[in-house]
Structure 1
């Protein structure tokens, strides 16, 4: 049976910055995040990334720089024995009112459309912001909030979707997801 997990990028897989991650050199993985992706891959999960990248619309970096960052992320995950199966990003600014920018569910729905045999209600989604969680829930996925990135700030603001699971980091999220998958009976 195919299994799927959807991850946010900045603050979950790599260090985040309020000034945006603009270059391949600025893209630096969080401790344990690539190992967590490898753990999920080895447990049979397809690992997909859904990320807002309004820095494109704002002119902070171009599509080439974004592709370089994603190539680095994929290659470093591979070096740990993992893989990133799909990366979906929203290039729009908040003013564009698009359907793909989180908290809208468009990125998640597009990923899910590539997996028609998977029930969204069995798909965990890991993020560090309220908009990640809201997009996941709107697409029917199970929300996990990590304390890395903007996670602590998100917790302090409150208003999390019902049944949000809170964990320290992506490694803890991966362990929870794998444990939950292995203990669930169909």
Structure 2
């Protein structure tokens, strides 16, 4: 049985985009972000995070740091009874300093690869799924994957999410 999903960008949607966040002590949640995840959970949707993490390719931090931050975020969400079904990230960048990450990846937004991969792994009803992002590249990835994209420009993420899902 398929169910809909909400795909969330990370930096600028779940947490403030202060530039290459990779340490828990540097992460500042967006207002209503944790509550938005809980609301989405309770509404019966999958919740996925899809995030470009070019800081890895630029040599600012390593993949293990991204994974540790995502684990910490999951622990923080669990404290209020919320969860992310899967965190996906793309460490690649065409101008990477770290050679193994230098490529034009189909997983790097605006390409839809992360979304497509999640849809292939989970029973996702794409006709009722959405993406919430803060950049046009997020919206382009959503459209390329066949789902609706919504541009979040700040404020309370929970109120924003409720306005979309209760239409």
Deviations 1:36-60 (A, max 9, x none): 1011111111100000001011111
Work out whether 1:140 is the aligned partner of 2:127.
no
| Paired residues of 1:38 and 1:83 also in contact (CA < 8 A) | yes
Shift of 1:132: 0.3
Shift of 1:177: 3.6
What is the alpha-carbon distance in structure 2 between the residues aligned to residue 99 and residue 173 of structure 1?
A: 29
Shift of 1:169: 4.2
| Paired residues of 1:125 and 1:144 also in contact (CA < 8 A) | yes
The aligned runs of 1:1-186 (5 Å cut-off) are 2-17=3-18, 19-95=19-95, 96-116=103-123, 118-148=124-154, 168-180=155-167
Alignment partner of 2:7: what SS? strand
The count of residues paired between Structure 1 and Structure 2 equals 159
| Paired residues of 1:126 and 1:173 also in contact (CA < 8 A) | no
What is the alpha-carbon distance in structure 2 between the residues aligned to residue 81 and residue 134 of structure 1?
A: 31
Q: CA-atom RMSD, angstroms?
A: 1.5
Q: Provide the TM-score with structure 2 as the length reference.
A: 0.88
| Paired residues of 1:146 and 1:169 also in contact (CA < 8 A) | no
Segments ≥4 residues shifted beyond 3 Å: none
| Paired residues of 1:22 and 1:65 also in contact (CA < 8 A) | yes
Structure 2 unaligned segments of length 5 or more: list them.
96-102
Deviations 1:53-104 (A, max 9, x none): 0101111111221112101211111112211000110010143211110000
- Pair 169,108 (structure 1): closer, same or farther in 2 beyond 3 Å: farther
What is the alpha-carbon distance in structure 2 between the residues aligned to residue 147 and residue 71 of structure 1?
A: 26
Structure 1 unaligned segments of length 5 or more: list them.
149-167, 181-186
What is the alpha-carbon distance in structure 2 between the residues aligned to residue 144 and residue 91 of structure 1?
A: 24
